[in-house]
Chain A
Amino acid sequence: MSTRTDTPDGLPGPGGDQLTYVYAVGREGPALHGLAARLPGVDGRPLHAVGADGLCALVSLVPADTFSEQGLAAQMEDLARLETLARSHHAVVDAAFAETPVLPMRLATVYLDDARVAGMLVRRRGEFEDLLGRLEGHVELGMKVYADPRTADTPAPAAVASSGAGAGRAYLERRRATRRRDQDAYRAASDVVGRAAQLTQGVVASRVVHRPQEGQLASHSGVNVANEAYLVPRARTEELRRALTALADGVPGVSVEVTGPWAPYSFATAPPAEHPDGGEGR
């Protein structure tokens, strides 16, 4: 086993009051070492590379107090801090992915020190090699389908008497029209999801279904009815993006949003043996 660690100058060595935060794992080579030399990690701290047996992890040292279990829990309860952490993690993964195939780690993957990261690389080498091989030459695209009945053209309710029995009938008619419009939009959105499945079949190497997005962070005006991720051969990325985006063209009350290309976050979760068909609904 060969282990190589580039601990940045001017920082305490591993252990003690610092922990090792892992962003991504790739193959040993100049690409990741070069990135480590010029990219910042979480909280602007310098990255370094931990290499072992042909693999290389991009890591940075983080304070033990804020990255212990309790420290992390506190960070996660603060949405602004969570966002900072997530964007820092993503900036490193994204920059690495732009240069060389990497396996992104889940947020807040923290080891006691560099030596334990190196040991992990050695023990899981076969698994990492398999995943890197499977993901190489691919990118992740995200696709979300929204039903937004309010954007559908609705026939204006008939102008009828504004008082008495006529007003009651008009109210009921408006209610019925609104319900029909909503049902139409959800049915059309479901149809778009089905056509996306047909479109991606044979093009994408794998597919993962995420939970529909909701809440304050989901800024889209519609209701998210499908939130999927595809592992796409890099050469077909733009073709697929255009085709997916076009699925909602001329469909009232439905919109499609395509995101990415992403590093293959959604496809790095488990060894291939546990995903014989390459995808898993969640």
Chain B
Amino acid sequence: MSADLVGGVLGPSEPREGPPVALIDLLDRLLNGGAVLTGDLVLSIADVDLVHINLRAVIRSITGEEPAPW
């Protein structure tokens, strides 16, 4: 799903300004922020932390490949 598509579909709404959102800024918010619900969530992912540990493992494994910048 591209921002362009959404901008086009929105029609009357103003397209959002500025450069495209960086994935890392988005993941900061979508994996650490956002309302966390409990209760009738799909039982198998009720343990939100479990899912997010997997997610963070992905991010961290990427981190490990990066050489020190200085």
Decide: A83 and B23 in contact? CB cutoff 8 A: yes
> Does A142 sit at the interface, judged by CB under 8 A?
yes
User: Is there contact, CB below 8 Å, between A269 and B34?
Assistant: yes
User: With A19-B42, A149-B70, A214-B66 as given contacts, are A42 and B1 in contact (CB-CB < 8 Å)?
Assistant: yes
CB distance from B35 to the nearest CB of A (A): 4
Residues of A within 8 A of B51 (CB): 69, 72-73, 76, 108
**Are the C-beta atoms of B62 and A120 separated by less than 8 Å?**
no
The B interface, classified by DSSP as helix, strand, loop or mixed, is helix
The residue from A86, A112, A266 contacting B33, defined by CB atoms under 8 A apart: A266
A117–B55 Cα distance when bound, in Å, is: 24
Chain B 6-21 residues near chain A, CB threshold 8 A: 6, 9-11, 13-14, 16, 21
> A112–B40 contact, CB under 8 A?
yes
CA distance A211 to B63 in the complex (A): 13
Contacts of B3 in A (CB 8 A): 87, 91
Which chain B residues border A70 with CB–CB below 8 Å? 44
Closest A residue, CB atoms, query B25: A259
For B, the interface residue count at a CB cutoff of 8 angstroms equals: 50
Determine whether the beta carbon of B70 is less than 8 Å from that of A88. no
Interface SS of A by simple majority: mixed
Contact between B31 and A98, CB atoms less than 8 A apart: no
Given contacts A108-B45, A109-B37, contact A87 B70 (CB under 8 A): no
Q: Are B66 and A86 in contact (CB under 8 A)?
A: no
Of residues 94 through 137 on chain A, the ones whose CB sits less than 8 Å from some CB of chain B are 94-95, 98-99, 103-112, 116-117, 119-120, 123-124, 131
Q: Which residues of B contact A (CB under 8 A)?
A: 1-3, 5-6, 9-11, 13-14, 16, 21-37, 39-45, 48, 50-51, 54-55, 58-60, 62-66, 69-70
Q: List 8 A-B contacts (CB under 8 A).
A: A69-B42, A84-B1, A90-B21, A106-B33, A111-B42, A150-B70, A217-B23, A217-B27
